[in-house]
Amino acid sequence: MYGLIPFARETSLGRVYRDFDDLISRVFGEVELPTVWEGKEFVPAVDLKETDKGYELSAEVPGLKPEEIEVSLHGDVLVITGEKKNERIEDKEGYHLEERTYGSFYRSFRLPEEVDSEKLEAVHKDGVLRVTLPKCEKPVPKEIEVKKG
């Protein structure tokens, strides 16, 4: 049966794992060994880029709606929180592979410069959250005339 499981060339470690699984099955009967995804929480992958004008953050949040994501700025720390609801089906019959992850997440990023919180913008489109954080304008030095007293 092709197409149900992602193709990957078997490595020597994979053969060891399969042989160990076969041994356990022969000794104890069918025992399901945990996968690498079991017990994993959802954590969005993030890119943070600095430009001349500010910072641009992109976070992968597939399956989340804009109202399920919260973006806030606390001084120089950008915080993104949310929750990807569990869609797991308790009846595991028929499953060949289950890799999707779920749960609450909290990501925080300390920014090296202060940003203009009035111009902060967050847009959610096609499973990607894009946050634009413009830098504050640098103060221009003002010369003060010294008067004779």
Closest CA to 100 of 89, 108, 111: 89
Mean pLDDT, to the nearest integer, of 120-124?
A: 95
Please give the DSSP secondary-structure letter assigned to residue 66.
Answer: G
Q: Residue 140 gets which letter from DSSP?
A: P
pLDDT at 9: 54
pTM score, whole prediction? 0.64
Rounded to whole angstroms, the Cα distance separating 135 from 137 reads: 6
Report which of residues 139 and 90 the model is more confident about.
Answer: 139
- Res. 38: pLDDT tops 70: no
Q: How far apart are CA 10 and CA 67, in angstroms?
A: 42
Does residue 97 surpass a pLDDT of 70? yes
Please report where in the chains the tokens 């709606």 appear, as a residue.
65
Residue 50 φ then ψ, to 5°: -100, 135
Whether residue 7 has pLDDT greater than 60: no
Let me know: does 122 contact 129? Beta carbons within 8 Å. yes
Residue with tokens 């919180």: 117
pLDDT attached to residue 32 = 57
Phi, psi of 113 (to 5 degrees): -130, 155
Mean per-residue pLDDT, 59-75: 92
